[in-house]
A = this chain, B = another copy of it.
């Protein structure tokens, strides 16, 4: 996977907090070809635990995380668009984050890594797009945390984007949303293996905390209906009648599996930093923040799923209302799907079609804007 050093000591990254990062590497993938006018690029922002591998195969043969949406002939058509997907700032899949070294060969950041805001993701995304020669994006697209980044981008720099696609996202977490994240962080922070964030040096791993965080999150990613459909009260091993504290029910096996595979690919410090950005995200708290998007004419597409209880349709409708109140152009659709929040990653009737149609409304164009 390509990695580019976008910021260094000569040209450090200034964060929204005013703090600076003197070394930022960004891992990314691209698919398709940038056209001569530099305006057929679609920028994909991944969710909390995603990565740059939007389509595969990965080095270990596994598929990418959004094969249903991206590829030749898919809604985000790599025969037509130049698709860019980086790992985000603060992540742990190739882009600089809290478990990276402060400088080449230096010590690991740990909890000394500066706190991030949604705008920081956008700053780095913009720099990557410019680095790749993009003049103006045809679209930025993202689900969940990815959708929140797209919203921030469109509000702060609408001239960069012709289309903004915001899927299963929120402009302001509820107390319950924050509570779930708070418990997850607490499980990580209190795991002795976390070692005050120095586990990269001690060789310990906060595997219990990260497992608990992931298992709990997975409950919120699936609708109750989908869990009942997939697992019900089925026993993992038929014939069980006892009731110990191990894995008796199929749903327990599912959670344990999700936890284990997560440990192999995700980092505890990134979990803390990225989830906290979501808690604080509240762009519409700034009066008139959507006015420029309306002026520039960025087209928004906001999509929710009817069984999503992590970010239910109310979250999307709030985004729609705020945008419409500012005079922006907004398409909204609630997609019927039984799979809950996870729906944004799945092959759901009408969902892919909605994205395809929205991106096709206007082809790559020639007027205005620039990254």
- A interface list, Cβ under 8 A from B: 111, 115, 117, 172-176, 178-180, 182-183, 185-187, 189-192, 208, 211-212, 215-216, 218-219, 222, 224, 227-228, 230-233, 242-245, 248-252, 255, 272, 276-277, 279-280, 282
User: In the assembled complex, which residues on chain B have CB atoms less than 8 Å from the CB atom of A242?
Assistant: 115
Q: How far, in whole Å, are A81 and B185 apart by their CA atoms in the complex?
A: 48
Integer count of this chain's copies in the complex: 2
- A233/B182 in contact, CB under 8 A: no
Q: A179-B255, A252-B179 are in contact. Are A174 and B224 (CB under 8 A)?
A: yes
Interface residues of chain A: helix, strand, loop or mixed (majority): helix
Find the B residue at minimum CB distance from A177: B224
* B115-A182 in contact (CB<8A): no
Q: Which of B174, B228, B272 contacts A176 (CB 8 A)?
A: B228
Q: List 9 A-B contacts (CB under 8 A).
A: A175-B233, A178-B233, A179-B215, A179-B251, A179-B252, A182-B215, A182-B252, A212-B212, A216-B216
A282: contacting residue among B178, B183, B233, CB under 8 A: B233
In the bound complex, CA of A277 to CA of B251 (Å): 16
- Residues of chain B within 8 A (CB-CB) of A251 are 175-176, 178-179, 182
A312 → B minimal CB distance (Å)? 9
Q: How far is the CB of A223 from chain B (nearest CB, A)?
A: 9
Question: Which B residues lie within 8 Å of A115 (CB)?
Answer: 242-244
Given A216-B183, A243-B276: A191 in contact with B208 (beta carbons within 8 A): yes
Residue of B nearest to A312 (CB): B224
On whether the beta carbons of A232 and B190 are closer than 8 Å, the reply is: no
Asked if B175 contacts A230 (CB within 8 A), the reply is: yes
Task: Judge whether B227 and A174 touch: CB under 8 Å.
Answer: yes
